Amino acid sequence: MGDEEAIRSRWTTLNNLHHEIEERLERRLQASIGISTREFLALAYLQRSRGSTAQLLWLREVASAVSLSQSATSRLIKRLEERGLLSRVTAPHDARAVEARLNQKASILLDRGGLVFDETLREAIDILRHLPVNLQLVRYLEEDRPQ
């Protein structure tokens, strides 16, 4: 197998693993707390980057954090607001920016969802150990993992 083929093969393996893990996360988060992986990641990003205070938030930042377009992210933020997980006000000088504040309901979901998210990732990594995948990938995923 040539270098290009090997790289392509490793990329395909990585992409398939990512897809499998993402599907597991989606199913578990939906079943346990009723939100999608992208919604969970957006709330987690807002919590990490903004805390509980309302601050100016650029949609491109959230879009990048959750791997969505700005328009899809705008719809996601609107859904989160409609579900009562955050409040937002569009910045008067630029519609791409909003002031967002997570509420107690979002914090509870993040706490519960964080446990599900972490458990699902741990299970996926444990499964990877028994598959014919690049062990460097498994080691990388386990770096700085609490024992």
| Overall size of the chain counted in residues | 147
- pLDDT over 80 (residue 97): no
Mean pLDDT across 72-100: 85
Domains defined for the chain, CATH in brackets: 3-142 (1.10.10.10)
Contact criterion met (CB below 8 Å) for 48 and 61: no
Question: Which residue do the tokens 């919590």 mark?
Answer: 47
> Tens digit of pLDDT for each residue in 41-72?
999 998 888 654 556 677 888 899 999 998 99
**What stretches of 71-147 adopt beta strand conformation (E)?**
86-90, 97-102
> Tens digit of pLDDT for each residue in 21-34?
899 999 999 999 99
For the CA atoms of 9, 14, 18, 24, the dihedral, rounded to the nearest 10 degrees, stands at 80
- pLDDT over 90 (residue 4): no
SS3 call for 67:
coil
Percent of the chain whose predicted confidence (pLDDT) is above 90: 41
| pTM for the full predicted model | 0.80
Mean pLDDT across 80-91: 89
The radius of gyration of the chain's CA atoms, rounded to the nearest angstrom, is 18
